[in-house]
Amino acid sequence: MIGTKSTRAVVLLGSLLLTLAITGGLFAYAYTTDTASITVTAASVDFADVSENGTDLSYNIQGRVKGAIGAGGLFDITRDTNYTGDLEVIVSLANADKLVENYSFWMMRVEFTDSTPTKVDMEQITQVISLNNPEVTFTVDSSNLTGTKYVYTPGGSFRAFSGVKPLNDATDYDPMLFCTVVQASPQ
């Protein structure tokens, strides 16, 4: 009986060693790797230049006053001549958190146009930036990007709370718009 137990122990120990040898060999075989390098060259220019249009869109604000925001250019956008792809133009209301303290309602219609102003984005629609929707995106086909194009507003409207006064400085009721131009997603 003692001989049978020791034989079983030797067989068990041998099986364990054989299992470790096989799995260790497979692990070492599967762990073989190599590397590859990719060379990336940084672009020397952006997709487009964005600048403030300079149109004066000022309006007066007083407590509990409803008013209109006039029409005019917001941003000038000129595509780099070396870039031939489509672009997305993203216009954001950057200080909506400050505006909600002074306005019960603020809305501006926005379009992407040429100089006439005729809409030249893919959808050819007017979009709305408001306190509830502080960002709009225009996708523009490369064929419509020759020369300077414009982010244009045909106007908008607002309603101020009663007793409007600046919270921290004189610009807490001035809308701040931000424009970003990025490469459009592949279709």
Whether the pLDDT of residue 169 is over 60: the answer is no
Fold held by 48-183: Jelly Rolls (2.60.120)
Burial-class residue 21 by CB neighbours within 10 Å (0-12, 13-18, 19+): exposed
> Please, which pLDDT band fits residue 160 given cuts at 50, 70 and 90?
confident
Q: Is 110 exposed, middle or buried (0-12, 13-18, 19+ CB in 10 A)?
A: buried
Q: Please check the confidence at residue 12 and state whether its pLDDT lies above 70.
A: yes
- Domain segments of the chain as ranges: 1-33, 48-183
User: What angle (nearest 5°) sits at the alpha carbon of residue 116, between those of residues 112 and 122?
Assistant: 30
Is the pLDDT assigned to residue 154 strictly greater than 90?
Answer: yes
Instruction: Give the type of residue at 30.
Output: A
What is the per-residue pLDDT across 60-73, written as a single tens digit (0 to 9) for each?
Answer: 776 678 889 999 99
